[in-house]
Chains A and B, each alone.
Chain A
Amino acid sequence: MLQIIDRRFDSKNKSAANRGRFLKRFRGQIRKAVADAIAQRSIKDIDKNERIGIPAKDISEPQFSLGKGGRRVRVLPGNDRFGRGDQMDRPPDSAAGQGRGGSPEGEGVDDFAFTLTRDEFLDIFFDDLALPELVKTQMARIEEYRRVRAGFTQTGVPTNLSIVRSLRGAAGRRIAVGTPLAARLRELEAQLDDLLASRGESDPAVVELRGEIARLRARIARIPFIDSFDLRYRNRIVVPQPSTQAVMFCLMDVSGSMDEEKKLIAKRFFMLLYIFLTRTYEHIEVVFIRHHILAFEVDEDDFFHSRETGGTVVSTALDLMQRIIRERYSTALWNIYGAEASDGDNWDNDSPHCRELLADTILPLVQYFAYIEIAPEPQNLWLEYQKLLGGHGNFAMQRIAELTDIYPIFRELFTKKLA
């Protein structure tokens, strides 16, 4: 007898172990590839699956094999023009004349490209930022669920039994089943009264009628007071928890002193905040504001890539943010987050103004405002902002020299939400 074995449901994901080993072994290269990918991808795409490539030569599996050179003869099919002894020039490399020296991999590509899953990608992304484990796992989780009431079901556990509903259902059933019988009973009793009046107690018709009435009464008595299918249980279903919306303001100084490297650090900072928000809010909008002595709302590409020179007036950006909030993002409907990155080199007289703007108009509106200063020494903006630290729980600031410094600025934000 033929053996047919259905293996579709066993050993799912058998390759996961080998995949994990591959990722582990080439962690260094993959990390570099992820860094490159981050530089190119937009903030909102941060946790989409990403194809990355690592140099193929790093992961080759060498074997003894023959190289080019010497004499070799190769048999080919499809002769359409050659006769014995014909001569021809060597085709340029990689064409038919290559012989059997090529790699058995069969692909001459420089990069070995593959797709990381969201979790793997984030894992590496977080690693760079030195996030604590708890935060990592919490961040990588997509949504939280909440159990909400959703009517009643016919099955469930005794604790969820709804007595009122069950009895109401039972009453309805009793009425529905019993009403026709009761009507018939009334009819028969009326007949009986008539017969009794006309013929007397011992008439056979009366006896028969009494028997039928007794059977009917018994039937009515047999309708159960409550039956198992009357039972109703309270039903709860899980729904994704956050169904709110947030807007994230990215403010960045694009004056001449902010070079590409600083912008990349800033980008990671914005990305991390974004991932945090995706975990908490269902719908997120991102507003990019860049500024030098003037502030503009721009798209992401311009935000990171176009360059300006000149001085810096930070308050213009804060002004613009405040205006945008007023026009488009009512605090009743939106959770507002702000993230500002700068090298802190503000126009001197402007810094106190910035502090006032933040303290008086912006901080009361936002859930959280984070400021990073990408500079080795504290600058004037830093000194001014420091004065805000005591009085405002939703303000955080951090000076950043390298990537691992980013996390502390979110520590409070994360611990609060995770608790």
Chain B
Amino acid sequence: MTAAHIEPLPYSSDWTEDGLRRYEAEIGRVAAAHGLDCYRHQIEIITAEQMLDAYASIGMPVFYHHWSFGKHFLATERNYKRGQMGLAYEIVINSDPCIAYLMEENTLTMQALVIAHAAYGHNSFFKGNYLFKAWTSADAIIDYLVFARNYIADCEERHGQDEVEHLLDACHALMNVGVDRYKRPPKLSLDKEKARQREREAYLQAHVNDLWRTLPRQERTSVEGERERFVKEPEENLLYFIEKNAPLLEPWQREIVRIVRKIAQYFHPQRQTQVMNEGWATFWHYTILNTLYDEGLLADGFMFEFLQSHSSVIYQPPYSAGWFSGINPYTLGFSMWRDIRRICEAPTDEDRNWFSDIAGSDWHETLDFAMRNFKDESFVAQYLSPKLMRDLRLFSIEDDDREARLRVAAIHDEGGYRELRQQLSEQYNLGNREPDLQVWDVDFRGDRTLTVRYTPRDRQPLADSVDSVLEHLASLWGFTVRLEEISPDGSVELLRERQHEKRHR
């Protein structure tokens, strides 16, 4: 389309398939001009109820059945009906082709916004970011979920729904300690998953038999020193450890543990890149739609509606507001991407001082590099600028339970920029947000007690939920589970011990 004869895009509250196609074509054209590299995408129209349902099953189009998804559905439905929340206008699946859901109730403007946001913004992030590249196989996830659902349904038929439900409860309880945080996965094709599953069953079962080896070994290893630990290196991935080593699990139970673990791992990158990812998508819908407006393709009414929605998404209530619930990742992410572009295009002296490498550089390249090679934690540490800290009026509060009062640790001033940036970065480090638990030992000569060690950070204790989680862990392990805490001076203290009564079989 040339500037000579501009035919504006349709603007109406009702969308039509033809309208969607025209918007998609224009948005795609602008996105390509900006060099966004995306998976193919596919747009699916769904109802509000289906949207609620997708919400409840962590956004995936196919998923196994479990009561907890029913619970989330009921909770979301209640909030939606009460009008407490508008439905998020988009769900997008990290798959190839990338699936973006459009809700039928949305206006044409909202649909265009979602197409730009999800089908181009998130999509390019999924394809480009190193964490997603390393950890997720976009071409295989849907197939894997289908496999998982069928496998679990099959197990329910063979072993009873209650049995499977109990196992899934236990696995879900360990989901957040069921991911590899630092290890890289070997590249393998998930297509082979199903074919290899039987092979794995047999192999694993043979492997755990080590725990059962009853013949006394030659007691030649260092009699004096500590006996050799079953776990050579502490293992942070509890589900992985259970899958590979729990002595009493049946092969099908191991497979289910593996399924939950795989899915937890699949979502791990999303949890590590929330600010970047949402910010990136928001930045691009904003940029793309504004470009279209500048070209004269969008009606003024469209822009008003779009901006109204956009600005409510990136609204950041101040800390003192009653509805304040933390830093809005959309706000922070969007502002940071915009800010990086500003530093590239119109750097100030301060920017040249802080960001000598990117100030004045080509913004497309700089943004692309940042999108590919960072996660929230490092992204904030690398790119949060003093100007943005001032704009958001960031400050930090230190809460030490040994002190009677709270203390303001840093504010947005010359002396505080670096400290503040460091603190915010740590706030996005999942390793800090979640307790550091590692499998330490198994008493394989004795009663097979599993020992898990907790290393507190800044003396933060475990929440009370620990008792019920340990119960789940013990039921998976099949024997007693001990939880120990390592204090800063290196001494070890027993926190909890959970006896597991013998399984009735």
Show the binding face of A for B, using Cβ within 8 Å: 2-8, 11-15, 17-26, 59-80, 82-90, 96-97, 99-101, 105-107, 112-115
Contacts and interface: CB of A to CB of B under 8 A. Distances in A.
A19 B56 CA distance: 11
21 contacts: A3-B43, A4-B17, A15-B49, A15-B57, A25-B165, A62-B465, A65-B463, A66-B463, A69-B461, A73-B409, A74-B397, A74-B427, A78-B318, A84-B408, A84-B410, A84-B413, A86-B408, A96-B319, A105-B75, A112-B74, A114-B77
B228 interface: no
A21 B50 contact: no
A87 to B, nearest CB: 4
B65 A21 contact: yes
Contacts of B316: 77-78
Contacts of A89: 405-406
Contacts of A12: 49-50
A75 B145 CA distance: 38
A78 B411 contact: no
A22 B67 contact: yes
Contact of A75 (B46, B68, B327, B400): B327
B78 A4 contact: no
B104 interface: yes
Given A5-B42, A72-B458, A67 B69 contact: no
A15 B406 CA distance: 46
A101 B176 CA distance: 15
Contacts of A74: 396-397, 399, 427
B297 interface: no
Given A61-B173, A71-B398, A77-B393, A90 B406 contact: yes
B interface residue count range (under 10 / 10 to 19 / 20 to 34 / 35 or more) = 35 or more
Contact of B415 (A20, A84, A86, A115): A84
A64 B423 contact: no
A61 B68 contact: yes
Contacts of B457: 70
Given A2-B20, A17-B70, A65-B434, 6 more contacts: A2-B43, A3-B43, A74-B396, A78-B321, A84-B416, A87-B406
Nearest to B402: A71
B392 interface: yes
Nearest to B469: A62
Contact of B468 (A3, A62, A77, A114): A62
B465 to A, nearest CB: 4
B327 A70 contact: no
Closest 4 CB pairs of A and B: A78-B318, A22-B70, A18-B70, A70-B460
A115 B77 CA distance: 9
B393 A88 contact: no
B134 interface: no
A397 B138 CA distance: 68
Contacts of A84: 408-411, 413, 415-416
Nearest to B74: A114
B399 A64 contact: no
B406 A8 contact: no
A90 B169 CA distance: 37
Contacts of B308: none
Given A17-B65, A97-B406, A112-B71, A70 B394 contact: no
Contact of B424 (A65, A75, A99, A107): A75
B486 to A, nearest CB: 14
Contacts of B413: 84
A303 B105 CA distance: 47
Contacts of A61: 68, 169, 172-173
Contact of B460 (A24, A63, A66): A66
Nearest to B322: A95
Contacts of A86: 407-408
Contacts of A67: 460-464
B43 A5 contact: yes
Contacts of B397: 73-74, 76, 96-97
Nearest to A86: B408
B176 A63 contact: yes
A71 B68 contact: no
B399 A99 contact: yes
B481 interface: no
Contacts of B288: none
Nearest to A114: B74
A168 B46 CA distance: 52
B467 to A, nearest CB: 8
Contacts of B405: 87-90
B469 A22 contact: no
B70 A64 contact: no
B71 A66 contact: no
B262 interface: no
B395 interface: yes
B376 interface: no
A105 B465 CA distance: 13
A88 B78 CA distance: 38
A8 B413 CA distance: 53
Nearest to B397: A74
A85 B405 CA distance: 11
B47 interface: yes
B460 A82 contact: no
Nearest to B421: A75
Interface in B59-106: 65-71, 73-75, 77-78, 97, 104
A339 to B, nearest CB: 35
A268 to B, nearest CB: 26
B312 interface: no
Given A69-B401, A71-B458, A74-B396, A100 B433 contact: yes
Contacts of A26: 67
A11 B101 CA distance: 14
Nearest to A22: B70
Contact of A85 (B319, B399, B408): B408
Contact of B45 (A7, A73, A76, A88): A7
Interface in B154-178: 161, 165, 169, 172-177
Contacts of B71: 22, 59, 112
B53 interface: yes
Contact of B406 (A21, A75, A88): A88
B318 A73 contact: no
Contacts of A25: 67, 165
A80 B393 contact: yes
Nearest to A13: B49
Contacts of B435: 64-66
A51 to B, nearest CB: 8
B50 A70 contact: no
A125 B311 CA distance: 48
B190 interface: no
B327 A80 contact: no
A67 B456 CA distance: 11
Nearest to B176: A63
Nearest to A16: B70
